[in-house]
Chains A and B, each alone.
Chain A
């Protein structure tokens, strides 16, 4: 079964750091772009960033709201993708999802999502 499972969420103080993990199973991680998306309580979806696949040298893209604070990395040998979050702010409180990007006839689309992990930034 193709599956993504996030972990690492929790309560952190403003200014603190947290690293989220996304464990992939049922597919070859190195073939895929992987993304992180978050959703603040009661709000909509916000794309955070992407790591491209091995064929595209694992390059990354970030949303302006997290660029310089968040870093996406991956370890295909461990079937995992990571989101390192530094200098956390109260407005970073959200459920964080990882999502697999599939390439379908030139369309780069989210096809599989994890269940999400909650991050609360509060003193």
Chain B
């Protein structure tokens, strides 16, 4: 199975900040990586697929990069609604797997 390790596991930031979350795969997955945002009590929301492509309707403040084993999600100009938990997910091979999540909190 492909393991995804996100860092950091939690992150405190202020409104207006720019933050970066990292996702490392245990083996190469090309660009078969997605990012999701989840708020408490809600379903995940798709943000990015193919490592860097924005899902329809997702604001350009979200950006993704990387390929192979190392990936990043960057969120610019944080707003109150961006504080949530973020997950990466690989779809290179079965079983599909998720990172453990990064909780983004308001400082």
Q: Which A positions have Cβ atoms within 8 angstroms of B?
A: 35, 37, 44-47, 50, 61-64, 97, 104-105, 107-111, 113-116
Q: Are A97 and B44 in contact (CB under 8 A)?
A: yes
Sample of 17 A–B contacts (CB below 8 Å): A45-B101, A46-B98, A47-B97, A61-B94, A62-B95, A64-B95, A104-B49, A109-B50, A109-B55, A109-B91, A110-B34, A110-B36, A110-B44, A110-B46, A110-B89, A111-B46, A113-B46
> Between A and B, how many residue pairs show CB distances below 8 Å?
59
> Which of B45, B46, B50, B98 contacts A45, CB < 8 Å?
B98
Closest to A46 in B: B98
**Nearest 8 pairs between A and B by C-beta?**
A109-B49, A113-B43, A47-B96, A45-B98, A63-B95, A44-B101, A107-B50, A61-B94
A81 CB, nearest partner CB in chain B, Å: 15
Contacting pair A109 B34 (CB below 8 A): yes
B residues whose Cβ falls under 8 Å from a Cβ of A: 32, 34, 36, 38, 42-46, 49-50, 53, 55, 87, 89, 91, 94-101
Complex Cα–Cα for A63 and B91 (A)? 13
Q: Roughly how many angstroms separate A107 CA and B54 CA in the complex, as a whole number?
A: 13
A107 and B32 contacting across the interface, CB-CB below 8 Å:
yes
A47, A63, A97, A114: most-surrounded residue (chain B CB, <10 A): A47
Q: Closest CB-CB distance, B72 to chain A, in whole Å?
A: 18
Cα–Cα distance between A114 and B38 once the two chains are bound (Å): 13
Identify the closest chain B residue to A111 (Cβ).
Answer: B46
Query: A23: shortest Cβ distance to chain B, in Å?
Result: 15
Instruction: Report the bound CA distance from A108 to B94 in whole Å.
Output: 12
How many angstroms from the CA of A61 to the CA of B96 in the assembled complex? 10
Inter-chain pairs besides A44-B98, A107-B49, 15 sampled, C-beta below 8 Å: A44-B99, A44-B100, A45-B38, A46-B98, A63-B95, A104-B49, A105-B50, A109-B46, A109-B49, A109-B91, A110-B34, A110-B46, A110-B89, A113-B46, A115-B42
Minimum CB–CB distance from B23 to chain A (whole Å) comes to: 13
